[in-house]
Structure 1
Amino acid sequence: MAEISNMNIQKLTIVQQAIASCCGAIITSLFVTPFDVIKTRLQAQNNPFPKGKCFGYSSGHTDHVYVCENGDSKAWYKKPGHFKGTLDAFVKIIRIEGVKSLWSGLVPTLIMVVPTTAIYFTCYDQLSEALKTRPGKYDEHIPVIAGSLSRFGSVTVVSPLELIRTQMQCRRLSYKQLYQHISTKVAVDGWFSLWAGWTSTILRDVPFSGAASGSIAAVTTQPFDVVKTHRQTQLWNSETLKIPQRDGKSTWAVMRKIVARNGITGLFAGITPRLFKVAPACAIMISTYEYGKSFFSHLNEKKNQHP
Structure 2
Amino acid sequence: MVERPVVTPSAGISPVQQMLASGTGALLTSVFALAADSASWSGVIRPSKWKCFLYCNGLMDHIYVCQNGASCTSWYKTPTHFSGTLDAFVKITRHEGVRSLWSGLPPTLVMAVPATVIYFTCYDQLRDLLCYGMGFQGNYIPLVAGGLARLGAVSVISPLELVRTKMQSRKLTYSELRVCIRSSVAQDGWLSLWRGWGPTVLRDVPFSALYWFNYELVKAQLCDQYDVSQATFSISFTAGAISGAVAAIMTLPFDVVKTRRQIQLGEMETLGVPVKNPTSTLHIMRGIWAESGYRGLFAGFLPRVIKVAPACAVMISTYEFGKTFFQKMNLDREQQAC
Aligned to 1:56: 68
| Equivalent residue letter for 2:109 | L
3-state DSSP of counterpart to 1:290: helix
TM-superposition CA deviations, 1:145-191 (whole Å, max 9, x none): 111100111112222334655787xxx74333995986665454233
Superposed displacement of residue 30, structure 1: 0.8
Superposed displacement of residue 119, structure 1: 1.3
Superposed displacement of residue 15, structure 1: 0.5
Give runs of aligned pairs for residues 59-98 of structure 1, distance below 5 A. 59=71, 87=85, 90=88, 94=92
| Equivalent residue letter for 2:303 | P
Contact 2:40 2:85 in 1 (8 A): no
Contact 2:6 2:139 in 1 (8 A): no
3-state DSSP of counterpart to 2:69: strand
Aligned to 1:155: 154
CA distance in structure 2 between the aligned counterparts of 1:181 and 1:13, rounded to whole angstroms: 38
Question: Bigger shift: 29-38 or 199-208?
Answer: 29-38
2:27 is the alignment partner of 1:26 = yes
Aligned to 1:282: 312
Q: TM-score, normalised by structure 1?
A: 0.71
Q: 1:136 to 1:297 in 2, by over 3 A?
A: closer
| Equivalent residue letter for 2:171 | Y
Give runs of aligned pairs for residues 227-266 of structure 1, distance below 5 A. 227-237=257-267, 241=272, 248-261=278-291, 264-266=294-296
Aligned to 2:8: 6
CA distance in structure 2 between the aligned counterparts of 1:132 and 1:124, rounded to whole angstroms: 12
Q: 1:94 to 1:271 in 2, by over 3 A?
A: farther
Superposed displacement of residue 131, structure 1: 0.9
CA distance in structure 2 between the aligned counterparts of 1:101 and 1:227, rounded to whole angstroms: 29
Aligned to 1:209: 208
CA distance in structure 2 between the aligned counterparts of 1:220 and 1:207, rounded to whole angstroms: 9
Q: 1:226 to 1:302 in 2, by over 3 A?
A: same
Q: 1:275 to 1:230 in 2, by over 3 A?
A: same
Contact 2:257 2:284 in 1 (8 A): yes
2:194 is the alignment partner of 1:198 = no
Q: 1:258 to 1:282 in 2, by over 3 A?
A: same
CA distance in structure 1 between the aligned counterparts of 2:96 and 2:291, rounded to whole angstroms: 28
Question: Bigger shift: 249-258 or 155-164?
Answer: 155-164
TM-superposition CA deviations, 1:278-302 (whole Å, max 9, x none): 2222221121111111111111112
Superposed displacement of residue 303, structure 1: 1.4
3-state DSSP of counterpart to 2:110: helix
Q: 1:90 to 1:155 in 2, by over 3 A?
A: farther
| Equivalent residue letter for 1:15 | V
3-state DSSP of counterpart to 2:68: strand
3-state DSSP of counterpart to 2:8: coil
| Equivalent residue letter for 1:300 | N
Q: TM-score, normalised by structure 2?
A: 0.65
Give runs of aligned pairs for residues 117-136 of structure 1, distance below 5 A. 117-133=116-132
CA distance in structure 2 between the aligned counterparts of 1:290 and 1:90, rounded to whole angstroms: 32
TM-superposition CA deviations, 1:14-50 (whole Å, max 9, x none): 101111111111111111124556778999x79947x
CA distance in structure 2 between the aligned counterparts of 1:188 and 1:140, rounded to whole angstroms: 47
Q: 1:278 to 1:56 in 2, by over 3 A?
A: closer
Superposed displacement of residue 193, structure 1: 2.5
Superposed displacement of residue 118, structure 1: 1.7
Task: Give the number of aligned pairs.
Answer: 278
Aligned to 1:176: 172
Contact 1:4 1:286 in 2 (8 A): no
Q: 1:185 to 1:6 in 2, by over 3 A?
A: same
Q: Please report the RMSD computed on the Cα atoms of aligned residues, expressed in angstroms.
A: 4.3
3-state DSSP of counterpart to 2:279: coil
Question: Bigger shift: 31-40 or 115-124?
Answer: 31-40
Q: 1:161 to 1:296 in 2, by over 3 A?
A: same
